[in-house]
Structure 1
Amino acid sequence: MTDVQNNLTTVNGNLAEKATLGSNKITFRSGGSIEDESDLEQPGIFIRGVSHDSQYNSGIGNRLSTAIRRSLRLGPKRSLATGNRSSSSKFKQQPSIIEEKGQTFTEFTDLRKLRCDVSYGNLDELQYYIRLNRINQVKKFVRNNDWPVSHEIRSDIWKILCHNKDFDVHKRLYEEQLETLTRSGVKTLTPLFLTFDGIVVHDHGLKELGAVTLQRLLIVVECVRPEIRYVPILYPICAMFLHYMGPDETFACVMRLLSQGNGFMLQSEVAVYASAHTSLALLKKHKKKVYNLMKSRIGNNVSDEKLADVFNNWAAWIFKYLPFPYLVRVMDCFLVEGHKMLLRVVLSLAYIWYKEKGKQQLPADFAGKSVDEKIDFVRDEIIQVVQDCPISISTLLDICTSIRNFKFSTIQRLQSEFESKHRDRINFERSMREHKSPMRTMYTQAFDSVIIDSEVASELMGSFPSRFQLETPVLVFRLSENGVSFTQLWNKVDVTEQSLIIIRSTKGDVFGAYCSASWSERNDIRERSRTRYFGTGESFVWFEDKNLGLPIIHKWAGQSSDHPEDCPQMFMAAGDRFLIIGSGGGDAICIREELTSGLSYPCETFASPALIWQRPWYLFLIVFLPITLCSRHFTTNSAFIFDRNNSVNVSINEPGLLFAIKSQNIILDSVTCSLSWILSLASFTKLSLMKSSHIPVSINRNEVLLFYHSIVLILAQVAKFAVTLFQLYYSNDPEFGKFLTDMLIPIADIFALLGPISLFLINSNFRVIYQSFYGCSCGYEEEPQFRRRYSVSPAVQTLQVHPFKNNPV
């Protein structure tokens, strides 16, 4: 073990040595080579770590390990070999293929394979348990085999534990993405998700080539999974994998862990914050003495809400400060048991702190410290204990597994409670940080456009994925030059990998979208048989705010959600004669048949409103550039204007026409009221005759229903008539306008419940709104949804219709 530690220590020599990630800026070259550009701007400073020498070899550590075992009744220490496995005889020990001097596991590390004279469990036995789906046997097998960090089994064991049906597919995907980055000559400084606070950055002694490969790997992960925004332990886990396998296999393993949601790696800021409170709650339940000591140190009057700050950086305890040999064994168990194992380790490290520091004298000035200073002091003590780790590896794992009744259901319940409790505050703090964060620095000149200015272009380029921010869009299609045919459009655009679309209406509205995938994917028959949509979460839609003169960008809703897997992922769809960007509740941009008209609706995929107020559009111009720039002109002659609140405004500008409509309303209401009274009177007379005459008068069920129906209709018409009459005189009064708004909503709902006759009797101007809104006037034919909410604004020349739901798609 000492030889292995010496090998690790020689990687960078000094524990406190600081180096840049990859030392220099990464340049992707053809053939996959990497060029160092030392004269370019350097990325942020990261600690490149080496393992610590454990105190376990000393007598103090040995005594503490024995004391802990005695207090927890763990029994004697296991031998290095696992001699109590009854099934070991069924599996032959494979002959070693290690050279006499030892060879490194990968080219990214100095860690060498060494011969082991002691017999351990082998891969055949592990694969046997996995094949039979004996999860408990796999757990025991991994827990009880203390393979050294240099054991040759480590070339394959993590691959086997992470293997699934998509493993080889993900390996090929990594190569394809890397080839795409290499071919495009993309230059980037660092993956975006590494810029957030709380990310654990530690490569555990990778060589310089390993550090550069690690950064390149993370860029590919960000490219494939753009929704991944906050995974604090992703960096060190990838670094650990690179010690024992290649980057393509590391990518496949990471994809498998990420696909399990929060089962292995917490993937949202809210989940990470809540995990600190979950850790404290579990400590209070399973290690009460440790909790009491921690609370007495910081203050008995301190709430658990504040006390949980001790665990804010618990991920760094394991993946940054824990010595390398210990972390390797923790990784063994983690790849089988998931996040639950990490919580076991956290509680065990807190317990070791309790045994190591619990009886030590506190500094003289400790009582005068503030609560935050006491929390920092306790946290630093725990980190120091973790770094020194005064117990053996097997004892640490035995402490972890000795926690009884440690149920996943309890962890999940506590985690959900704390996430719900703190979600609003964390999301608010995150939005404030994003609001205050400076704009990204552009390293290339913005593209020229006759539709938008350079400032808007720079903002759009700044919103591209980081690997494309140095790319300048190039024109490939323009409607005025290439025509209105979709065939011509696809011939020009299919060669592009990404596209930027810019749209301008004849009334000056500017909007568009960034599409992260190639439009040629519409021809993938196999994938389109599963879903018509394609693209990734890097896509976004936008519109230009005329007051600010800047684009308002709506990115995928999953990027701001704690559960991105539940958000719609309908980014792009296309066929021979249609194009759709964003869907779910409505299409953000939809063009059909020819490049002459389109539609825009509120979209759930991007949580965006309608990108243009007028609809439909009539196309005037199209431009495509790859990243592809596309500009369009649309026009409409409709008098119905759809605003961003999903309402339709009917503008009437002629006073004479307004008076005629009002007079027509009064006449129509008078006629319908008279008809209703006649029907009611006839029914009432017949019913009265039946009651007062000794001669039976026949009356059927339909006539009785007509009687009650007419009464309800009369009441509705009287109220409607009163509202319409008063509207002529009082609608310019804001207070009375509000009264009209409140009155007309329930009246309209009553009409909606009275059947088709209500729609016929309703005022003609409302019928025009229905027809325009549902397609007759706009050329859009869909089955109408009759439940709509009406309102009359205080302005006499505007009527509004507010739908309960999104517009029909």
Structure 2
Amino acid sequence: MLQVGLSLPRSPGAAAAAFPMAEPAAGEDSGTGPELLGSSPVTIVVTSEADTWDIDTSSCLGCGHFVDWDKMPEARQAAQIPRDVLGRPPKELKRLAREGCWAGSHAGRARLYPRLIQRVSCRLVTPDAPVYRDVAARLFGKPSVSSHPLPEFLEGCPVPTYCLNPHGVTALKKILICVGALFPDITHSPLLPALAALLLHYSQDEAQCFESLSRLIASNAPHAAYIDQSFLAHQASCMTFGDMASKHCPAAHRLIAGAADNVLEVYSEWLWWLFPGLPFAYAVRVLDVFLLEGQKVLYRIALALLKHFRLAVAPAGPQGSDIKAELRAFVGNIAQHVSVEKLLERAFGIRLFSRKEIWLLQMANRKALVERGITVVQRR
């Protein structure tokens, strides 16, 4: 028996690449007329009941050609990804991500990431892969990409390249330039370049990576933001992290307060501890859960890092006068202190506020910053 379903692939070679497409009958209109912004042609997918799509194939069409494989950490064990993983309930899917269900498979991540991101609720008109191809062709058709500066919103922001090869580094720059062209309202976003770089490791092409990033930028899920897009929002998140550190990591907070003249200045780097501070093997495990749970995950893991930092320096305390530098060094050498599994276990053992409560706290901090004269467009 055959099952006929409709698939709306967001970019060529993505979801539909794994399935045979039905051929149109002679003289039949294929239905690929003029498209609206963000639309894609409808593909008829025909599969038998006996066929089950295996998320963990040994290879993934086109994925990995942006990667310098000599730099990529080797997987500790082969991934055992359930064949019906995308059909699991949300809570179970989160549990699988936290446990590293697909941590051992590059191809598994390459297939999962776009599909997980397609589930993110976002604005109706969101630039997608075809839009990227059109804009990139116009921007980079003749002059070299090196002649294009990075967007102003990246001023003062780290742009990590992780395990990308030279081709991948060039692609990353093109994607960020197109983000700047298509999202002019972004004025400051330290997280965005790291997300773009990580996603590019598992993307079939630049357009797919851009579309994934675009959906995260345009997310409109209530109380579940993914990416801060202004200096004001970023500073509010730093203040919010400070509030959480005081409540959930009191011992570590006292340590920081005793070693720093300005505690908020230390906490202003909380996002840096994760991206680009963490090694790639840790950062991509953070990405696994971030795509499912949003910004709240980042707070959790940064708090867990703070807890482990206190344990690492106790009982002697910080060894130098620069607590920020010590925290950076600790995060960069995190593998010497705690495994990624133990780090995530501690992170998800912290009882945080709800998403709504975190959002309300962020809004209160934004209001306080505005009253102090901090604006959306102000930069570091």
Q: TM-score of the superposition, structure 1-length normalised?
A: 0.36
In the TM superposition, what is the alpha-carbon distance from 1:294 to its structure 2 partner? 2.1
In the aligned structure 2, how far is the partner of 1:357 from the partner of 1:308?
Answer: 20
Q: Do residues 387 (structure 1) and 332 (structure 2) align?
A: yes
Q: Do residues 139 (structure 1) and 94 (structure 2) align?
A: yes
Q: Do residues 256 (structure 1) and 256 (structure 2) align?
A: no
Deviations along 1:577-606, one digit per CA (max 9) or x if unpaired, are xxxxxxxxxxxxxxxxxxxxxxxxxxxxxx
Distance change >3 Å, CA 116–CA 338, structure 1 → 2: same
In the aligned structure 1, how far is the partner of 2:150 from the partner of 2:225?
Answer: 23
In the aligned structure 1, how far is the partner of 2:73 from the partner of 2:271?
Answer: 28
In the aligned structure 2, how far is the partner of 1:284 from the partner of 1:387?
Answer: 24
Q: RMSD value over aligned CA atoms?
A: 3.2
The answer as to whether partners of 2:248 and 2:350 remain within 8 angstroms in 1 is yes
Q: Which residue pairs with 1:180 in the alignment?
A: 138
Q: Which residue pairs with 1:121 in the alignment?
A: 81
Q: Do residues 106 (structure 1) and 64 (structure 2) align?
A: yes
- 1:183-582 correspondence to structure 2 within 5 Å: 183=141, 185=143, 188-197=147-156, 199-245=157-203, 246-260=205-219, 263-298=225-260, 306-360=262-316, 362-363=318-319, 374=321, 377-389=322-334, 390-427=337-374
In the TM superposition, what is the alpha-carbon distance from 1:424 to its structure 2 partner? 4.4
Q: Do residues 97 (structure 1) and 58 (structure 2) align?
A: yes
In the TM superposition, what is the alpha-carbon distance from 1:195 to its structure 2 partner? 4.8
> Which moved further from structure 2: 285-294 or 419-428?
419-428
3-state SS of the aligned residue for 2:273?
Answer: helix
In the TM superposition, what is the alpha-carbon distance from 1:265 to its structure 2 partner? 0.6
Deviations along 1:302-342, one digit per CA (max 9) or x if unpaired, are 7xxx3221111222111111011110100000111111111
In the aligned structure 1, how far is the partner of 2:185 from the partner of 2:53?
Answer: 45
In the aligned structure 2, how far is the partner of 1:106 from the partner of 1:194?
Answer: 28
In the aligned structure 1, how far is the partner of 2:79 from the partner of 2:159?
Answer: 35
In the aligned structure 2, how far is the partner of 1:290 from the partner of 1:380?
Answer: 16
The answer as to whether partners of 1:114 and 1:152 remain within 8 angstroms in 2 is no
3-state SS of the aligned residue for 1:244?
Answer: coil
AA matched with 2:366: E
In the aligned structure 2, how far is the partner of 1:156 from the partner of 1:168?
Answer: 21
Q: Which residue pairs with 2:7 in the alignment?
A: none
In the aligned structure 1, how far is the partner of 2:143 from the partner of 2:55?
Answer: 45
AA matched with 2:81: G
- 1:7-156 correspondence to structure 2 within 5 Å: 96-98=57-59, 105-111=63-69, 118=78, 120-122=80-82, 124-129=83-88, 134-148=89-103, 150-156=105-111
The answer as to whether partners of 1:214 and 1:239 remain within 8 angstroms in 2 is yes
In the aligned structure 2, how far is the partner of 1:172 from the partner of 1:400?
Answer: 38
AA matched with 1:135: P
In the aligned structure 2, how far is the partner of 1:357 from the partner of 1:148?
Answer: 30
Distance change >3 Å, CA 228–CA 115, structure 1 → 2: closer
In the aligned structure 2, how far is the partner of 1:271 from the partner of 1:314?
Answer: 14
In the TM superposition, what is the alpha-carbon distance from 1:104 to its structure 2 partner? 8.8
In the TM superposition, what is the alpha-carbon distance from 1:352 to its structure 2 partner? 0.7
Q: Do residues 161 (structure 1) and 116 (structure 2) align?
A: yes
3-state SS of the aligned residue for 1:141?
Answer: helix
In the aligned structure 2, how far is the partner of 1:310 from the partner of 1:291?
Answer: 11
In the aligned structure 1, how far is the partner of 2:160 from the partner of 2:149?
Answer: 15
AA matched with 1:316: W
Q: Which residue pairs with 1:510 in the alignment?
A: none
Q: Can you give the 5+ residue segments of structure 1 that lack an aligned partner in the other structure?
A: 1-90, 367-373, 435-809
AA matched with 2:84: E
The answer as to whether partners of 1:113 and 1:150 remain within 8 angstroms in 2 is no
Distance change >3 Å, CA 119–CA 181, structure 1 → 2: closer
AA matched with 1:419: R
AA matched with 1:420: K
AA matched with 2:315: K
Distance change >3 Å, CA 387–CA 225, structure 1 → 2: same
3-state SS of the aligned residue for 2:276?
Answer: helix
Over alpha carbons, which structure has the higher Rg? Answer: 1
In the TM superposition, what is the alpha-carbon distance from 1:236 to its structure 2 partner? 1.1
Distance change >3 Å, CA 110–CA 340, structure 1 → 2: same
The answer as to whether partners of 2:231 and 2:376 remain within 8 angstroms in 1 is no
AA matched with 1:275: S
The answer as to whether partners of 1:96 and 1:115 remain within 8 angstroms in 2 is no
AA matched with 2:286: V
Distance change >3 Å, CA 383–CA 185, structure 1 → 2: closer
3-state SS of the aligned residue for 2:275?
Answer: helix
In the aligned structure 1, how far is the partner of 2:80 from the partner of 2:255?
Answer: 40
AA matched with 2:110: S
In the TM superposition, what is the alpha-carbon distance from 1:213 to its structure 2 partner? 1.1
AA matched with 2:343: L
Deviations along 1:179-211, one digit per CA (max 9) or x if unpaired, are 2224475864322235522x1221113111111
Q: TM-score of the superposition, structure 2-length normalised?
A: 0.74
In the TM superposition, what is the alpha-carbon distance from 1:393 to its structure 2 partner? 1.0
Q: Of the two structures, which has the highest relative contact order with CA contacts closer than 8 Å and spacing of 6 or more?
A: 2
Number of residue pairs aligned between Structure 1 and Structure 2: 317
In the aligned structure 2, how far is the partner of 1:404 from the partner of 1:145?
Answer: 21
The answer as to whether partners of 1:264 and 1:338 remain within 8 angstroms in 2 is yes
In the aligned structure 1, how far is the partner of 2:363 from the partner of 2:130?
Answer: 36
The answer as to whether partners of 2:78 and 2:105 remain within 8 angstroms in 1 is no
Distance change >3 Å, CA 127–CA 322, structure 1 → 2: same
Distance change >3 Å, CA 341–CA 94, structure 1 → 2: closer
In the TM superposition, what is the alpha-carbon distance from 1:249 to its structure 2 partner? 0.9
In the TM superposition, what is the alpha-carbon distance from 1:276 to its structure 2 partner? 1.4
Distance change >3 Å, CA 276–CA 210, structure 1 → 2: same
In the aligned structure 2, how far is the partner of 1:358 from the partner of 1:175?
Answer: 53
Q: Can you give the 5+ residue segments of structure 2 that lack an aligned partner in the other structure?
A: 1-51
